[in-house]
C-alpha cells in the first residue's frame, strides 16, 4: 500500500509524536480533495491538515500530516494517536466498497508496521457525531484474514483485557475466571471500541 502524495507544505514546523498507541477515525463531513481539507485547516491557523491519512470515496489513500508528527484531529488525544479521515458525511450517507476496502487496507498496514493499537471512532473520545452514525465501524475493524483466537483471559492483549473482564462480569461471556474463553481478535477490537463509547456502562 503506497498512499498518494499531494505534496502538501506546512505553515510551520511540525512536532514529533513520541507515543503511538491509537488510531482515531474521522469523516470529513463533506466531499473534497486532501488539498481542500489542508486549505481549510490552514485557514484555521493550523500548520496544515490535521489528519495523517485521507481516504477518498474512489478508494485512493492520501498522505496528510506525516505519520511521525503530532496531528490535529482529536482534542486532548493528538499526542498519542494517528488520525485517519474519510471523505464524505456518514451522518447522511453510506460508505461505498472502494472506500471501505481502502480504509481496512490502511489500518492493516498501520498495524503491520506498528503492532497492535486501539482503533476508535472520534465519538468515543469527544462529544461529536464524527465519523457519523452510518460509518461502517464493525466492517472497518473486521480482520478475518488474521483471525487470532484467545483461549484464556491471560492470552487477551492488555489493551482489550479490561473490556473482556467487564463482559465476563456482565455474564456476556462464558469461561470460569476467563478460562475457555475463545474470543477472537476482531471480537475483542469491536467490543473494546464499543466499551470506550460507553455502551457497557
Ligand atoms: Zn472527527
Q: What is the distance in A from the centroid of ligand 1 to the CA of 83?
A: 8
* 156 alpha carbon – ligand 1 mean position (Å): 29
CA of 178 from ligand 1 middle (Å) equals: 35
| The CATH number of domain 1-141 is 3.40.80.10 | yes
> What is the CA(84)–ligand 1 centre distance, in A?
9
Burial class (CB in 10 A: 0-12, 13-18, 19+), 80: middle
Residue 139 alpha carbon to ligand 1 centre in Å: 18
Distance 25 CA to ligand 1 centre (A): 7
Report the separation in Å between the CA atom of 28 and the middle of ligand 1, taken as the mean of its atom positions. 7
- DSSP letter string over 91-132? TTSPPPHHHHHHHHHHHHHHHHHH---EEEEGGGTSSS-TT-
What's this model's pTM, rounded to 2 decimal places? Answer: 0.83
Q: Chain-wide mean pLDDT for the chain?
A: 92
Using the mean position of ligand 1's atoms as its centre, give its distance from the Cα of residue 195 in Å: 18
Domain-wise residue ranges, the chain: 1-141, 146-201
pLDDT tens for 109-131 read 999 899 888 899 999 999 999 99
Render pLDDT for 17-37 as a digit per residue (tens, 0 to 9). Answer: 999 999 999 999 999 999 999
Amino acid at each position: 500500500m503506497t498512499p498518494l502524495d499531494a505534496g502538501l507544505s506546512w505553515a510551520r514546523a511540525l512536532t514529533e509524536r513520541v507515543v503511538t498507541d491509537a488510531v482515531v477515525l474521522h469523516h470529513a463531513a463533506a466531499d473534497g480533495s486532501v488539498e481542500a481539507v489542508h486549505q481549510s485547516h490552514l485557514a484555521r491557523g493550523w500548520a496544515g491538515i490535521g489528519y495523517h491519512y485521507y481516504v477518498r470515496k474512489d478508494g485512493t489513500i492520501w498522505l496528510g500530516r506525516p505519520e511521525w508528527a503530532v496531528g490535529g484531529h482529536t482534542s486532548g488525544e493528538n499526542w498519542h494517536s494517528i488520525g485517519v479521515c474519510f471523505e464524505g458525511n456518514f451522518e447522511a450517507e453510506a460508505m461505498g466498497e472502494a472506500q471501505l476496502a481502502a480504509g481496512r487496507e490502511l489500518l492493516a498496514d498501520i498495524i503491520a508496521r506498528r503492532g497492535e493499537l486501539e482503533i476508535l471512532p472520534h465519538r468515543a473520545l469527544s462529544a461529536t457525531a464524527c465519523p457519523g452514525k452510518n460509518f461502517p465501524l464493525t466492517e472497518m475493524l473486521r480482520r478475518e484474514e488474521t483471525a487470532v483466537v484467545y483461549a484464556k483471559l491471560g492470552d487477551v492483549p492488555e489493551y482489550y483485557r479490561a473490556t473482556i473482564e467487564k463482559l465476563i462480569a456482565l455474564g456476556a461471556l462464558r469461561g470460569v475466571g476467563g478460562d475457555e474463553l475463545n474470543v477472537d481478535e476482531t471480537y475483542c477490537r469491536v467490543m473494546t471500541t464499543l466499551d470506550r463509547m460507553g455502551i457497557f456502562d
